[in-house]
Amino acid sequence: ASGLGQLAAAQGRYFGTALANNHLGESAYATVADREFNSVTPENEMKWDATEPSRGSFNYTGGDAIVSHAQGHGQSVRGHTLVWHSQLPSWVSNGGFNAATLTSVMQNHISNVAGHYKGKLYAWDVVNEAFNDDGTRRQSVFQTTIGDSYIATAFQAARAADPTAKLYYNDYNIEGINAKSTAVYNMVKAFKQQGVPIDGVGLQTHLILGQVPSDLQANLQRFADLGVDVALTEVDVRMQTPADSSKLATQSANYAALTKACLNVARCVGITVWGVTDKYSWVPDVFPGYGAPLLFDDSYNAKPAYTGVSGAL
Ligand code: XIL
């Protein structure tokens, strides 16, 4: 190992990236990914629409390719994600299932997908983005059909399918102490009291330039104090494009700050950035006018943000 992964490993952590199969054939992409990162998260390949596009018909082609690539390059894998309202096939979201049937559809999905990867993954994001910013439950088909209990049921199914994967709840806008992160905190606390198998909380960390929450470290610590691991799972720091040297310097400081916040919390196990290069980031597609959120530019040159991370590690 070399690069950021090696620096993180020296601190007992990992430094990872989202990896997309469709770019692995580009040699510069694969070279940077394999040089810099010792953990990978499939960007789309293990989502429900990819793994069970129609009921009971499972496809592991993309996920298997990521796992095989990772195994060949000494990278651990974070599975992403078993239960999510997005990239969910319409046979699930518009299936008209009752609570009992949707529960069994969900359990069957988890037991098949997590069972297929049993023993091969470091962690699973079992449930993704189940809360609204105000701390109420997102009205996904799982929530409206099954009710609050679907999250605990999903974690139980994941533990049964793969007893060695660390089981995470993952969400965005939970980096600071706020209504949403407190709702997640209260759920994790209840799960620990009730014996629901949860091992970690993933903070996606899709940030806007200059907006690293000042209480990020305190928030990580309060989760850790519940007896779970924490991780920054999908980091990017987006800016209004075009980038300039002043914005890139701020971004570098932001990356250094979030890296230090993780290192300062013993149970913060690692950091994953949501992509190898700005060229393929999801940001410009979803946040018009924003971009340049990652550590490598469109030409795979290390940005000031890279130095921010490496200097903090
Ligand atoms: C994004 C991917 O990066 C895109 O390629 C895809 O089109 C949409 O999903 N939160 C998550 C990730 O948990 O799975 C999302 O990934 C980004 C937001």
Per-residue pLDDT of the chain (313 residues; tens, 9 = 90+): 589 999 999 999 999 999 999 999 999 999 999 999 999 999 999 999 999 999 999 999 999 999 999 999 999 999 999 999 999 999 999 999 999 999 999 999 999 999 999 999 999 999 999 999 999 999 999 999 999 999 999 999 999 999 999 999 999 999 999 999 999 999 999 999 999 999 999 999 999 999 999 999 999 999 999 999 999 999 999 999 999 999 999 999 999 999 999 999 999 999 999 999 999 999 999 999 999 999 999 999 999 999 999 999 9
Q: How far apart are alpha carbons 36 and 161 in whole angstroms?
A: 31
Determine the pLDDT at residue 1.
58
**CA of residue 72 relative to chain centroid, distance:** 22
CA nearest 110: which of 164, 56, 167, 161?
161
Q: Where are the beta strands (DSSP E) in 76-156?
A: 76-83, 123-128
Ligand 1 within 6 A of CB of 272: no
Distance, CA 193 to ligand 1 centroid (Å)? 32
CB 113 within 8 A of CB 82: yes
194 C-alpha vs ligand 1 centroid, how far in Å? 31
CB burial string 203-220: b at 16+ within 10 A, e below: bbbbbebeebbebbbebb
List beta partners, residue 166.
123
Question: What is d(CA 7, CA 55) in angstroms, rounded to the nearest whole number?
Answer: 43
CB 99 within 8 A of CB 145: yes
Residue 128 Cβ contacting ligand 1 at under 6 Å: yes
Rounded distance between C-alpha atoms, residue 33 and residue 52, angstroms: 28
Tell me, what's the pLDDT at 261? 98
Nearest to 188 by CA among 165, 163, 169, 166: 169
Q: Other CB atoms closer than 10 Å to residue 183's CB: what's the count? A: 20
Known catalytic residue at 45: no
221's tokens: 């610590």
Ligand 1 near 204 CB (within 6 A): yes
Please give the distance, rounded to the nearest whole angstrom, from the Cα atom of residue 195 to the centre of ligand 1. 30
Residue 229 Cα distances to 59, 187, 188, 266, angstroms: 30, 15, 11, 9
**Listed residue (104, 105, 107, 127) closest to 115, CA to CA:** 107
Burial class of residue 57 (count of CB atoms within 10 Å of its CB; 0-12, 13-18, 19+): exposed
Is 175 marked active-site?
no
Has this prediction a pTM greater than 0.95?
yes
Ligand 1 centre distance from Cα of residue 84 (Å): 11
Q: Which residues contact 203 (CB under 8 A, 6 or more apart)?
A: 170, 171, 172, 174, 175, 219, 220, 230, 231, 232, 233
Q: Is 44 in the pocket of ligand 1 (CB under 6 A)?
A: yes
